[in-house]
Structures are given as structure tokens and as C-alpha cells.
Structure 1
Amino acid sequence: MEQLIARVKGMILSPAEEWRTIQREPVELLPLFTRYVMILAAIPAVAGMLMMMMFGFFFTAISGAIVGYILSVASVFVTAKIIEILAPNFGGPQDGDAALKLAAFAPTAAWVAGAAIIIPILGGLVALAGAIYALYTLYIGVPTVMRVPQEKALTFTLAVIGVAIVVNIAVRLLTGVFI
């Protein structure tokens, strides 16, 4: 748990330095997901569920939390694959491990800020700020982790975000879930 807290703190307070640390570390899929992604992705899911339950939407709250959580965890895999495929087009290597690191750690601020969802209206603004900051940390991590040249980092980041949005919309349309 101490490692998780240290990583979250690093990603939020000093992302450039944290990305350099992450870049040097080996990555293993199962520990990365069970000790980091699955824990943090639960934060906004649980907060949203509790908020909806306060308004009496029990079934919707539970089903929405489960679906949102599953899609959040799955989006890390999808985003990693997008990053891996796009990187060579922007001067970076096709490196699955590096792409997984970027996809798993970039959403940190969004997941943590998602705890604020429990507070009506203001919480949504805090969560939005966290999501925007997470996009910034993605941009900061691109040249370090994916070794994409700095001059192409912004266009690479925007391409990843664009493709991820399209994939997310497609998944939600296919599953019929717009929660």
C-alpha cells in the first residue's frame, strides 16, 4: 500500500520525475493491475455509486459502478494497445511494456479526483480537473516512457486521446451503456 501511495503522490505532485522512475522499472501485467489499476479505478466507481445511492437509485448505482469499473480497467488495455500501435508513426518504438506503463499510470489523477464525485456538482468539477490533469500527465510521459520525440509528443498525445475516445464511444454503443 505504501508503494501505491508513493506512486500516486509522485504522479500528482511531480509527474515528470515519476515518469523517469517508471520508465526505468520493469513491468509485470498482473501485479500492475492488481496492485495499482484495479485499486485506483475503483475510487470513482465507488464514489459514484455512493452518490447515486444517496438519491435512492440503488440498482442503477450498483450496475453503473460495476460497468464503469470494468470499462475503466479494460480501457487501460485498449489504451495501451493504441499507444503501442501509434508510437512508430510518431518516431517512438512499438513497445508494449512502455505502452502499458503509460496507459496504466496516466489516469492516476483522474481516478483519485474521481473520489470527489460523491459531492454533487462541485465533485464533478473536481473530477473534470483531475481528468484534464491526467491528460497532461499522459503528455508529460510520452517522450520519457514511449521515447517519442518531444516535438511530436503533443500530436501523439492528441492522437491517442482521439482514438481512445472513439473506441470508448464504440464500446459503449455496442454494450448499450451510457452511464
Structure 2
Amino acid sequence: MNHLIERVKGMAMAPAQEWQKIAREPIELVPVFTRYVMILAAIPAIAGFLLLLFWAPFTAFSMAIVGYILSVVGVFVTAKIIEILAPKFGGQPDADAALKLAAFAPTIAWVAGGAIIIPLLGGIIALIGGFYALYTLYIGVPIVMRVPQEKALTFTLAVIGVAILVNIAVRILTGVFI
């Protein structure tokens, strides 16, 4: 748990330095999901559930479960997108590096997502956290995926664009627009 807290602090306070550490660390799929992604992705899901619990309990529960599952699966899908796109932008097709970027970039969005329990203000905080997560993704691209700095912004935008399209497709296929 201390490692998780230190990683969150690093991604919040000094993302470039944290990405340097992440780039040097080995990564394994199951531990990164069970000890990091699944824990942090639960924060906005639980906050959203608690916010809606008294007004619409079934909706709150279903939104929390679907949102949580899509967040966790989204990390895996985003990692594959990153891995496939990296060579087209001068980076390496490295599955482990792509997993690192996909798993750790959303850190601040997940933590800030806990604020949605506060009506209106919480949504603004969560939105700021989401934008900061996109910034950390951009910072991590040249460090972790070794995409040249001059192509990092274009690569980041391509990853975001493809991830949005995949998310829309998944929601259409599952019939879930929450």
C-alpha cells in the first residue's frame, strides 16, 4: 500500500521523475492490475455509487459496476493501442512499456474522481484530474515509449482519439451510455 501511495504522490507532484522510475522498473500484468489499477479505478466508482445511492440505488450500483469494469478493461485496451501506435511515431512496440503508460497515466484522474461525491464542485475537480492525467500521459510518452519528443504530442493525441473511439464502440455494443 505504501508503494501505491508513493506512486500516486509521484504522479501528482513530479510526473517526469516518476515516469523515469517507472521506465526502469519491471512490470507484470497481474500485480499491476491487482495492486494498482483495480484499487485506484474503484475510487470514482465508489464515489459515484455513494452520490446516487439514496436517489437511485439500482442505477447507482449498475453505474458503479459498469464504470469500474470499463475503467479496468480500458487500461488493457489502451495499452494495446499504445503498443500498436508507437512504431508509427518512432517509438518501440514494447508491450510492457505500453502497459506502464496505460496503467499509470490515469492515476490522478482516478484519485480526483473520488471528488464526484461532492455535487458540482466534485465534477470540476474530477475534470481537472482527467486533464492532468492526459498531461501525465504526454509527459510519459517519450520517457516510457521512447517516442521522439517532437512526435510526443501527436502520438498522445492519436492514443486519446483511438481510445475515445474504442470507448464509444464498446458503449454502443453494450448499450450502456451512463
TM-score by length of 2: 0.99
> Per-residue CA shift, 1:36-76, capped at 9, x if unaligned?
0000000000000000114x110000011000000000000
The runs of 5 or more residues in structure 2 that have no matched partner are none
> Per-residue CA shift, 1:108-164, capped at 9, x if unaligned?
000000000000111000000000000000000000000000000000000000000
* Alignment-mate amino acid for residue 49 of structure 2: M
- How far 1:12 moved relative to its partner? 0.6
* Alignment partners' CA distance in 2, 1:109 and 1:8: 7
CA-atom RMSD in angstroms: 0.4
Q: Per the alignment, in what secondary structure is the counterpart of residue 94 of structure 1?
A: coil
- The equivalent of 2:79 in structure 1 is 80
- The equivalent of 2:4 in structure 1 is 4
* Alignment-mate amino acid for residue 8 of structure 2: V
TM-score by length of 1: 0.99
- Is 1:132 the counterpart of 2:131? The answer is yes
- How far 1:16 moved relative to its partner? 0.2
* Alignment-mate amino acid for residue 27 of structure 2: V
> Per-residue CA shift, 1:65-123, capped at 9, x if unaligned?
00000000000000000000000000001000000000000000000000000001110
Q: Per the alignment, in what secondary structure is the counterpart of residue 53 of structure 2?
A: helix
* Alignment partners' CA distance in 2, 1:122 and 1:52: 16
**Percent of aligned pairs with the same amino acid:** 77
